[in-house]
Amino acid sequence: MANKLDSKIPSGNIESKWTNHKFSSKLVNPANKRKHSIIVVGTGLAGASAAASLGELGYKVKAFCVHESPRRAHSVAAQGGINAAKNYQNDGDSVYRLFYDTVKGGDFRAREANVHRLAEVSTNIIDQMVAQGVPFAREYGGTLSNRSFGGAQVSRTFYARGQTGQQLLLGAYSEMMRQVDAKTVDLYNRREMLDVVVIDGKARGIIVRNLLTGEIESHEADAVVIASGGYSNVFFLSTNAMNCAVTAAWKAHKRGAYFANPCYTQIHPTCIPVHGDNQSKLTLMSESLRNDGRVWVPKAVGDKRHPNEIPENERDYYLERIYPSFGNLAPRDVSSRQAKYRCDEGRGVNEAGKAVYLDFADAIKRLGEDKISERYGNLFDMYDKITGQNPYKQPMMIYPAPHYTMGGLWVDYNLESTIPGLFVAGEANFSDHGANRLGASALMQGLADGYFVLPYTLGNYLGGTKLEKVATTHEAFKAAAHGVKEEITKMMNIKGARTVDSFHKELGNVMWEYCGMGRNEAGLKKALQEIPKIKEEFWNNVRIPGDANYLNVELEKAGRVADFIELGELMCRDALERNESCGGHYREEYQVDGEAKRDDENFCHVAAWEYTGDNKLSVRHQEELTFENVHLATRSYK
Amino acid sequence: MSGKNINLTLKVWRQKGPKDQGAFAEYQAKNVSEDASFLEMLDAVNEELVAKGDMPIAFDHDCREGICGTCGFVIDGEAHGPMKSTTVCQLHMRNFNDGAVLTIEPFRAKAFPMIQDLMVDRSALDRVISSGGFISTNTGNAVDANAILVPKADADEAMSSATCIGCGACVAACKNASAALFTSAKISHMALLPQGQVERKERAMRMVGAMDAEGFGACTTTGACEAACPKEIQLTNISRMNREFFVANVTKREKHKDGGAG
């Protein structure tokens, strides 16, 4: 079989690749644009910005989301900020430095050309969002404010209080709603994508379930964009919103889109620790807090004194001690692992021994409570509400939790998957972040893909591809819709004894235990024995009450959990095959003094998995990565 | 983190669909951790219902961090429950007494049609936004961000208005089911920024018109919306909206229909 993994990286030096590629891309003349239809699945930052831009250009866009309103997409919850290489602070930033930091931060497992493009367009993103009225923080002179973020030594992060994601999403959403008003975008809310329709080898439409009526609908188009976010909910407890699912991406995978680097998941270091068995999700405290908060644990094992009673010389500010040049701003994977080590040593600070302190006492002394409140007030209030403790008076307690997923559907430089005409944007694709994501880069990638990449690369596809007219009466649509209905009927007819959530929790425990912050061969092999058992029991013993012909939340969850079970298995296989540590993938066998030990000789590649059928082993393909500009080197933040 | 558990009696509005008759049903929520959120308490009740083969209570929720605006219903007559500036997903059980009886019902308003149990359709709010809650700027040619200077005080005030999460609690709390707080927050956000000036009048006219067309009631300034708002959006936004609308109304110009030469 021919290798489908052609990354299509343009030739030329790194600085001119994107410029040259844009020029050599085919154009679609304005009168022809309105003859082309494009489906966008997901309306978070990537989906809404794509729908808005493509609508503006004149294409007929259909946008789909599972939410009641696009403004609910999980991008809304990103707090800290968005990076851009503006160098407004005159502190040595540049496009090249953002590119360099991101390649290094991703532990040399991202494609250089994609990352450079991301750094290039980062400056346009800020301009665009400001023009749309996003109320970023300002200095007294009226210019934009910046702060620094994990993994960076310059201040390049733009922010809107602790609600940057919300403000950016509302910006992209309002631009999309403008196109809805202009009738270039048709919005379909409360719809879940359950299949991609492929005709003559090209993506030509989708099958969705109307979540209110249960109706299975078919929609055709000339191209499909999936922007459905990440899959951290595979862990059950994660920082993701409850409706975040892998379903759209997974269904596309089953239709032939390769899934790349599924084992690359990010564990975020600053979450509110788990409180009990009934907990449904974990809440993130923004990474921006590490600008002023100092992370520590008691020096003595088992020191259970109140934190305010532990004197300075009996505290271990371990990040500052181990990583003096980055200190509390060490990257997320590094900070998370260090927190785990301290807790493994018995120095964890909550009842379960699974937390470390994030202390603002010094910052409050230095800057005053007002300044701290201005910077982080809403985050402090949120912490207070959840835990019942006042972080102005005593340190916060934090612990790492599953957050962002760097893996996703494989795409080439054009963001096109291995199914021609199926494009993937934002967190749903695997590109740009490598094995670890630095702070404030997820919002950047979502908007880069939607506003500045897809409008060119989709145009190039439509301009250069012969597309026959298809209708939803085509056999392929009927077959796909039939398949979707059959699966739903099968699930409804199980009528077993266990709730959907009980399966999700069981899967989540296995994933966290064996494919979480640390992985090893024995654990992954164990998980690969456990997961098929969960799958077997799910398909024989799940209980979904009610029927499928109207709103049925349990049915929605069941479909998503079924997909998570299959994805979980692939994640473990991917983690098992990758005999090295890199970024968020930490194989305990491959380390030097607790730091990740990469194997560039054997694993400097993207692993892209091909689905070969139900209960058959997926096939692993490789895309070799070359580093011509940022030379392969051991990542060090010391 | 208290580690204590409490018991509650819930009177929950159950309604199968928009055309069905609704009624309150009573449930016991036992051994609820004080550290759990209100929605986690409902999750536990739902797990029991499903185990018994009953339909779980349908309620909208997503981020559970108080920011997406998806969750929301009325507890003992108060939208999002008794705590000030708190969404129902961030309402923790330590705020309730052991043995309490709670009445839980959906947001009620003509413009929010019933879907099921505690879920209602708030898409009218999206249509208010698509009528003018944006700045018309196409992608790709914006000027450098620092070319648009915004005084810090204006940016901060715009931000305070922009924090509206569109949950609809203001509508549910208002005796007229008015969406004035929601609409005025967006109008204010944009009217306070230089980027929003060009379309300022058009926006006020269109958004107020859309709000009325959706069937939301008029504002009679009782302030119930402000009291219920989980994001502390202030009534001053409504004053600003009224001023914007008034000015726009008295200074509006007819649109020119002339074609260009060429």
Give the nearest partner residue to B64 out of A281, A387, A389, using CB atoms: A281
**Residue B261 touches chain A, beta carbons under 8 Å:** no
- Are both B28 and B111 inside the same structural domain? yes
Question: Is A111 buried (19+), middle (13-18) or exposed (0-12) by CB count in 10 A?
Answer: buried
Run of H or E residues at A216: strand A216-220
Run of H or E residues at B4: none
| b/e A171-196 (16+ beta carbons within 10 angstroms → b) | bbbbbbbbbbbeebbbbbbbbbbbbb
Number of Cβ pairs < 8 A linking chain A and chain B: 235
In A58-94, which residue ranges form alpha helices assigned H by DSSP?
Answer: none
Question: Which fold is adopted by the domain A269-401?
Answer: Flavocytochrome C3; Chain A, domain 1 (3.90.700)
- Are both B81 and B157 inside the same structural domain? no
Q: Cα–Cα distance between A346 and A316 in angstroms, integer?
A: 13
Which residues of A are annotated as catalytic?
332
Question: For chain A, what is the radius of gyration of the CA atoms?
Answer: 24
Residue B258: inside a domain? no
Please give the tally of structural domains in chain B. 2
**pLDDT for res A287:** 82
- For residue range B41-100, list pLDDT tens digits in order: 999 999 999 999 899 999 999 999 999 999 999 999 999 999 999 999 999 999 999 999
- HSE-up (13 A, CA, CB side) for residue A578: 37
As for the ipTM of the complex, it is 0.97
- Are both B99 and B135 inside the same structural domain? no
- Are both B65 and B152 inside the same structural domain? no
Ramachandran category for residue A98: left, alpha or beta (phi over 0 → left; psi -120 to 50 → alpha) = alpha
Question: Which fold is adopted by the domain A475-604?
Answer: Methane Monooxygenase Hydroxylase; Chain G, domain 1 (1.20.58)
Q: Enumerate residues 35 to 94 of chain B having a beta carbon within 8 A of any beta carbon in chain A.
A: 35-37, 39-41, 43-44, 47, 49-51, 53-56, 58, 60-70, 83, 86, 90, 92, 94
Q: Do A278 and B36 touch (CB under 8 A)?
A: yes
Q: Enumerate residues 158 to 187 of chain B having a beta carbon within 8 A of any beta carbon in chain A.
A: 158-159, 162-163, 165-166
Residue B257: inside a domain? no
Domain holding B36: CATH number?
Answer: 3.10.20.30
Sheet harboring A619-624: ordered strands across?
Answer: A408-409, A259-260, A605-610, A619-624
Q: Which one of B59, B86, B115 terminates a domain?
A: B115
Domain holding B167: CATH number?
Answer: 1.10.1060.10
- Are both B33 and B55 inside the same structural domain? yes
Give the nearest partner residue to A138 out of B1, B116, B150, using CB atoms: B150
Residue B14: inside a domain? yes
Q: Do B115 and A67 touch (CB under 8 A)?
A: no
- Are both B59 and B126 inside the same structural domain? no
**Residue A630 touches chain B, beta carbons under 8 Å:** no
- Name the residue ranges covered by the structural domains of chain A: 269-401, 475-604
**pLDDT for res A1:** 45
Q: Let me know the angle formed at the C-alpha of A631 by A337 and A597, rounded to the nearest 5 degrees.
A: 30
Q: Provide the domain limits for residue B208.
A: 121-251
Residue B108: inside a domain? yes
Q: Which one of B115, B148, B180 terminates a domain?
A: B115
Its sign, for the CA torsion A526, A528, A529, A533, is: positive
Chain A residue whose CA is closest to B116: A551
Cβ-based contacts of B148 with chain A (< 8 Å): 130-131
Residue in this structure with the two tokens 């239709």, named with its chain if needed: A255
**pLDDT for res A631:** 95
Residue B259: inside a domain? no
Span of A99-113, A143-157, B205-219, B240-254 with lowest mean pLDDT: A143-157
Residue B21: inside a domain? yes
Q: Do B150 and A142 touch (CB under 8 A)?
A: yes
Cβ-based contacts of B163 with chain A (< 8 Å): 161, 163, 166
Q: Do A53 and B121 touch (CB under 8 A)?
A: no
What letter does residue B166 receive in the DSSP assignment?
Answer: -
Q: Enumerate residues 198 to 257 of chain B having a beta carbon within 8 A of any beta carbon in chain A.
A: none
**pLDDT for res B253:** 78
- Are both B51 and B95 inside the same structural domain? yes
Q: If chain A, 638 residues long, is cut into consecutive pieces of 10 residues, what is the mean pLDDT of each piece?
A: 83 97 96 97 98 98 98 93 96 97 96 98 98 97 90 90 93 98 98 98 98 98 98 97 98 98 96 88 88 95 95 96 93 93 94 94 95 86 91 96 97 98 98 94 97 98 96 98 98 97 97 96 98 98 96 97 98 98 96 93 98 94 97 90
Q: Which one of B115, B134, B161 terminates a domain?
A: B115
Q: Cα–Cα distance between A303 and A298 in angstroms, integer?
A: 6
* Residue B249 three-state SS: helix
Is 0.95 surpassed by the pTM of this model?
Answer: yes
Residue B256: inside a domain? no
- Are both B88 and B130 inside the same structural domain? no
Q: Do B159 and A161 touch (CB under 8 A)?
A: yes
